[in-house]
Structure 1
Amino acid sequence: MITLEPLCPDHAEELLGFERANRAHFARSIPDRGDDYFTGFADRHAALLAEQAAGTCRFHVVRDAAGELVGRVNLVDLADGGAEIGYRVAESAAGRGVATAAVAEACRLAATGYGLRFLTAVTTRDNPASQTVLARNGFAFRHEFLLGDRPALAYRRDLADLG
């Protein structure tokens, strides 16, 4: 069982530890955030909280049954009834259904808590685990494109069945 918690100021230190511990793991499937992300983390965290307070984004930490922070799920660029979902799960939690459950809960929250009608998602072509998470959560493939220099896939999920 997992739970999603809205991002709050108290998450900063724990979230930075999560990002540092999993940096190499994440970089294998998505572009690395770079050193500046880590050195400027406090300012970045404050900026995310401001975006959330403004209602343009919804950020969440994912906790496992023991209360450990094992992931993140973000809904960004909320506009016109939609948002883009992004997620990452700790290497230690990979392959246990955490991402699938977290995305399912985020879809439910998007529809019932945030009033969204659809979500979009992007994953790199060489990330079959993420593609599986999206498929299991009802996301439909839309098109291919380049994410930086990496082939990527775009998806969409309508949320009418959840609202």
Structure 2
Amino acid sequence: MPELQRLRADHAPALLAFERENRAFFAASVPDRGDDYFAHFEARHAALLAEQAAGVCHFHVLVDTDSNGEGEIMGRFNLVDVADGSAELGFRIAEKATHCGLATATVLQLCTLAATEYGLTTLRAAATLDNTASRAVLTRTGFVPTGEELLLNDHPGLGYVRSTTGEVRGSAEL
């Protein structure tokens, strides 16, 4: 059963493999990270860990550990731009892990962590109009459209918001 883990330095090799393996899949619905991301991955990973240590972001990976104890990353679930009890949620899940409820269950788990571990009361998110899977996950996990129309790397999108203090409208378990 996959486990949500806070990002650590030792996740770097599996995280890079996850990003490389799913690059084309992600690029179909979210902006591509670009070649520079992969060329300077180690430095980028260290910078993320520094941001996390400073408390301005909370990065997580969904790890599926095999019988040998080796962990494969199935998704990323992040809370960024933490300020004044609020943060922006971002997530991506491996192509082979889609359509099985993992994204919904993990977003719900992260919403609970946001409230109980990080003291956040409001989460924001955004998704492009053509990213129906992410928009469905957001809706199932209690996010509501703000009515704000956005441009996400030149693609039209919608903003979403969710309180972490009220009753969760979606439900799922990992």
Common topology (TM > 0.5): yes
TM-score by length of 2: 0.90
Structure 2 residue identity aligned to 1:151:
P
- Alignment partners' CA distance in 2, 1:97 and 1:28: 20
CA displacement, residues 77-98 of structure 1 (integer Å, 9 cap, x when unaligned): 1001000000000000011111
Q: Which residue of 2 aligns with 1:25?
A: 25
Verify: 1:160 aligned to 2:165, yes or no: yes
Displacement of 1:63 after TM fit?
2.0
**TM-score relative to the length of structure 1:** 0.96
CA contact (8 A) 1:2 1:101 kept: no
Q: Does residue 147 of structure 1 match 2:152?
A: yes
Given that residues 14 and 72 in structure 2 are in contact (C-alpha distance below 8 angstroms), is that contact kept between their aligned partners in structure 1?
no
User: 2:74 touches 2:94 (CA, 8 Å); kept in 1?
Assistant: yes
Structure 2 residues not aligned, in runs of 5+: 168-174
Distance in 2 separating the partners of 1:144 and 1:62: 30
- Matched length: 162
Q: Which runs of 5 or more structure 1 residues have no equivalent in the other structure?
A: none
Counterpart-to-counterpart distance in 2, 1:161 and 1:116:
12
Letter in 2 for 1:156: V
- Tell me the distance in 1 between the aligned counterparts of 2:43 and 2:25: 24
Give the fraction of aligned pairs with identical amino acids, expressed as a percent. 58
Counterpart of 1:120? 124
Task: Report which of the two has the higher share of helix.
Answer: 1
Task: Write out aligned runs for 1:36-51 (5 A).
Answer: 36-51=36-51
> Partner of 1:160: helix, strand, or coil?
coil
Matches of 1:92 and 1:109, distance apart in 2? 25
Deviation for aligned residue 1:109: 0.2
Aligned AA (1:74): N
2:95 pairs with one of 91, 97, 120: 91
Letter in 1 for 2:86: G
* 1:95-120 deviation digits (Å, cap 9, x = unpaired): 11111011011100000010000100
Which whole-Å CA distance do the structure 1 matches of 2:52 and 2:45 have between them? 11
State the Cα deviation string for residues 8-60 of structure 1 (Å, max 9, x = none).
Answer: 00000110000000000000000101000000000000000000000000000
Q: Letter of the 1:115 partner, please give it.
A: G
Q: Which amino acid aligns with 2:126?
A: V
Kept after mapping to 2: 8 A contact 1:2/1:102 = no
**Code of the aligned partner of 2:94:** A
Q: Measure how far apart 1:65 and its partner are.
A: 6.7
Q: Distance in 1 between matches of 2:128 and 2:64?
A: 26
